[in-house]
Amino acid sequence: MKLIRQLLFFIFLCNTVIAQDIDYARNVINDLCAPEMYGRGYVNGGDESAAHYLRNQLEKMGVSAFDFNYYQDFKINVNTFPEAMEVDVDGKQLHPGIDFIVSPDAPSVNGEYDIIYLNKSVIGNPNKMDEFEKTNKKGKVVVMDSTGFNKVQKEYFVAAEQNSFEATVIIKLIPEKLTWGVSQEVSSFSTLEILKKSFPENGKKITLNITNKFLSKYGSQNILGFIEGKTKPDSSIVFSAHYDHLGMMGSETIFPGANDNASGTSMLLNLAQYYSKPENKPDYTIVFIFFGAEEAGLVGSKFYTENPVFPLEEIKFLINIDLAGTGEEGITVVNGSVFEKEFNTLKDVNDEKKYLMQVKVRGKAANSDHYYFSEKGVPAFFIYTMGGIKAYHDVYDKSETLPLTEFQDLFRLLTDFVKTF
């Protein structure tokens, strides 16, 4: 009886330890996705608020700073939309983020415009096509819908997207999913993507009120800290994740970026919390780098590799985490086939412990912050989770619907993997 009671107490203890970790993970994601973080972009200083938050978390855990109070500053040019974002077709108001997105490089556009169509009924009819080509598109809005186009027609469509006919705005009707981004430049014209089902059929007039604000040499930052190794302090394992996201599209619409990449950021803070406990003190020095401006084109990590705070040669291995919030279909390891030995070790650990249903190998790809490191000869993986929800670079990537299915298993796999070095 006593044994059973002890056993039950032990199970209870295990569960509370696990529960605490996942609670902290979820709290971090909630905090990073909160309205006052403004989608961790460049409207209302969202990036700065997130950086400040991370710095405070590291300080609270007793993670050491290299210099400058955990900050590494850099500059970025970026196009933003802090103000108006209105689209109205024949009196029907469309909702930003839900019905439409504006191209990240869009300039301001204000006014009421006539609509010209380029779709299946036009491109498949020589007379209508002739008329389309003859019509002056300047000062007009061209609405393009490639549904049902054949290969040749699609090529024409792709060329038309370049807007050589100088329409004021190009609108593309999209069948189902809107995917936004960040641009470091401003185009000479705006492109809008509108969900096909949200666009009034044969709409005649469109009213646009879109205001961009280009920020030149905007100050953003990476946040970094370290926990000194017990036996090999001069060699380090680096965990990295970008904390920035897309920010806002207009004064009302926030892109929270829960999976991308509040989840990876939270994983790093969970690892920091783990390694900062005396009983988990690592052999190698563990460095945590939270990169800024990844979504604008890997700006923070590129800057870091050009201005490292300690020699890149001292990095034994770098593990970049981006999109850690699902895992129903396991994980993919970018650079897995480049660093085969380490990949096999990671896979062996997973097979033995049965954490994730799959550890999938992938080659080199410039798709997150590991890229400029491995280009400079630093051995690095980029790990992302697969399966589950499909929200990505849209307003639906929020904490409420992020499952964190394999978050704890991924955490265990990472800490076990570090022990193999």
Residues that bind Zn ion (CB under 5 A): 260-261, 322
To the nearest whole angstrom, how small is the minimum distance from the Cβ of residue 246 to Zn ion? Answer: 10
Alpha carbon 133 to its chain's center? 39
Closer Cβ to Zn ion, 285 or 374, answer by number? 374
To the nearest whole angstrom, how small is the minimum distance from the Cβ of residue 303 to Zn ion? Answer: 17
Phi, psi of 257 (to 5 degrees): 60, 55
Count the helix, strand and coil residues of the chain and give each as a percent rounded to the nearest 5. 35, 25, 35
To the nearest whole angstrom, how small is the minimum distance from the Cβ of residue 295 to Zn ion? Answer: 7
Return the structure tokens found at 158: 């792709």
**Would strands 205-210 and 109-118 be described as parallel, antiparallel, or unpaired?**
antiparallel
Closer Cβ to Zn ion, 102 or 323, answer by number? 323
Angle between helix 46-61 and helix 2-32 axes, rounded to 10 deg: 150
To the nearest whole angstrom, how small is the minimum distance from the Cβ of residue 209 to Zn ion? Answer: 30
Task: Report the alpha-carbon distance of residue 373 to residue 153 in Å, rounded.
Answer: 42
To the nearest whole angstrom, how small is the minimum distance from the Cβ of residue 125 to Zn ion? Answer: 43
* Cβ-proximal residue to Zn ion, closest one: 260
Task: Report the alpha-carbon distance of residue 96 to residue 174 in Å, rounded.
Answer: 14
Is residue 61 within 8 Å of 24, Cβ to Cβ?
no
Task: Report the alpha-carbon distance of residue 73 to residue 54 in Å, rounded.
Answer: 15
User: Number of C-alpha atoms within 13 angstroms, CB side, residue 70?
Assistant: 25
SS3 287: strand
Closer Cβ to Zn ion, 99 or 406, answer by number? 406
Closer Cβ to Zn ion, 149 or 291, answer by number? 291
To the nearest whole angstrom, how small is the minimum distance from the Cβ of residue 46 to Zn ion? Answer: 15
In the chain, the amino acid numbered 394 is D
Closer Cβ to Zn ion, 226 or 373, answer by number? 373
Closer Cβ to Zn ion, 107 or 403, answer by number? 403
Closer Cβ to Zn ion, 104 or 229, answer by number? 104
To the nearest whole angstrom, how small is the minimum distance from the Cβ of residue 297 to Zn ion? Answer: 12
Task: Report the alpha-carbon distance of residue 401 to residue 53 in Å, rounded.
Answer: 23
To the nearest whole angstrom, how small is the minimum distance from the Cβ of residue 261 to Zn ion? Answer: 4
Alpha carbon 341 to its chain's center? 29
Task: Report the alpha-carbon distance of residue 182 to residue 342 in Å, rounded.
Answer: 33
To the nearest whole angstrom, how small is the minimum distance from the Cβ of residue 357 to Zn ion? Answer: 23
Closer Cβ to Zn ion, 250 or 257, answer by number? 257
Sheet of strand 359-361: strand arrangement: 71-80, 213-227, 284-291, 232-242, 315-321, 380-385, 331-334, 359-361
Closer Cβ to Zn ion, 253 or 261, answer by number? 261
Task: Report the alpha-carbon distance of residue 167 to residue 264 in Å, rounded.
Answer: 41
**Would strands 315-321 and 331-334 be described as parallel, antiparallel, or unpaired?**
unpaired
SS3 420: coil
